[in-house]
């Protein structure tokens, strides 16, 4: 195996336990040097609303603003900070379309999804146009074999990507989603999954619809924050 990001050879180091236990070998995806460029977020030192890394576990100013605006706030977790390495990774994975790179964080994201023990996992969808050009939904790629419920879909065939807007424009985006089948989430513990949490607008729109469908509980997760 080679490192998916820098193509350096990865050494396979077998431990005695690997040999004795006859378990599947851990799939190596990154070399240590590339791995060190990403910064993991410890949920014990993050805002409980949006998952932003900070000193304590008090609600951050942005989440307080959401609380005032909507009357409730998300309880979101993120695995990594959105630093330069993550930006570069997202560029290569999403925009250049290198679908192999989903394997870099797939295992970690799946593990966190299992930890969060939701009844229904709802990925944020992509538009039909994106699907036709990119050929994949980046969130589904990261989730891998996790079983998901396609509860949401885009209202329009295409829209201007959030990443092309300024913060102000992003926050003013109208509701882009609609519910496919509200019964799928009624009375359930729902986990919403996206790739990046930037302003929170997208996830709040999605959460709004799912809360409207009377779910029991709603948590959300993203790869980067």
Partner 1 sequence: MELHGQRVHCLRCGQETDWRLAALPNGEYYCPRCINLGRVATLNKFYHVPEPNQFTVHQPVLTWSGQLSPLQEDAATTVDQGLAAHRHQLLWAVTGAGKTEMMFHGIAHALERGERLAVASPRVDVCLELYPRLVAAFQNTIMVLLHGRQELPYRYAQLTVCTTHQLLRFYHAFDNLIIDEVDSFPFAANDALLFASQQAVKTDGGCLYLTATPGPTLMRRVRRGELAVSYLPLRYHGHLLPRIRLQLAPGWRRGVQCGHLPTSLVARLRRSLTAGYRFLLFLPHVADLGTIEPLLRLALPDHNFTTVHAADPQRLTKVQAMRDGQYDFLVTTTIMERGVTFPEIDVFVLGADDPVFSSSALVQIAGRAGRSVSRPTGTVYFWIASQCRRVRSAVRQVDFMNRKGRALQK
What residues line the site for partner 1 (CB under 8 A)? 96-100, 132-133, 135-137, 140-141
Question: 49 or 141: whose CB is closer to partner 1?
Answer: 141
Q: 3-class SS at 119?
A: coil
Question: 64 or 99: whose CB is closer to partner 1?
Answer: 99
Residue 207 CB, nearest approach to partner 1 (Å): 26
Question: In whole angstroms, what is the distance from residue 49 CA to residue 75 CA?
Answer: 4
Q: 3-class SS at 68?
A: helix
Residue 82 CB, nearest approach to partner 1 (Å): 23
Q: What's the Rg (C-alpha) of the chain?
A: 18
91-118 as b/e: b if 16+ CB within 10 A? ebbbeeeeeebbbbbbeebeebbeeeeb
Kindly state the tokens that stand for 107.
């295992």
Question: 98 or 119: whose CB is closer to partner 1?
Answer: 98
Question: 152 or 190: whose CB is closer to partner 1?
Answer: 152
Residue 135 CB, nearest approach to partner 1 (Å): 4
Residue 111 CB, nearest approach to partner 1 (Å): 22
């Amino acid at each position: 195996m080679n490192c998916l990001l820098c193509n350096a050879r990865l050494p396979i180091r077998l431990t005695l336990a690997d040999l004795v236990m006859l378990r599947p070998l851990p799939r190596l995806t990154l070399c240590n040097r590339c791995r060190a460029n990403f910064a993991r977020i410890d949920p014990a030192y993050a805002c409980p609303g949006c998952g932003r890394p900070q000193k304590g576990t008090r609600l951050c100013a942005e989440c307080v603003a959401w609380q005032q605006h909507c009357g409730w706030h998300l309880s979101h977790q993120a695995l990594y900070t959105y630093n330069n390495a993550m930006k570069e990774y997202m560029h290569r994975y999403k925009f250049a379309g290198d679908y192999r790179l989903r394997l870099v964080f797939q295992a970690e994201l799946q593990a966190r999804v299992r930890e969060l023990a939701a009844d229904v996992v709802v990925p944020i969808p992509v538009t039909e146009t994106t699907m036709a050009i990119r050929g994949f939904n980046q969130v589904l790629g990261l989730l891998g074999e996790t079983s998901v419920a396609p509860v949401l879909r885009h209202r329009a065939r295409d829209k201007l990507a959030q990443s092309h807007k300024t913060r102000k424009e992003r926050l003013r985006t109208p509701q882009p989603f609609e519910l496919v089948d509200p019964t799928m989430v009624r009375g359930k513990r729902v986990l919403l999954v996206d790739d990046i949490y930037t302003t929170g607008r997208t996830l709040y729109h999605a959460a709004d619809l799912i809360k409207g469908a009377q779910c029991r509980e709603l948590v959300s997760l993203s790869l980067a924050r």
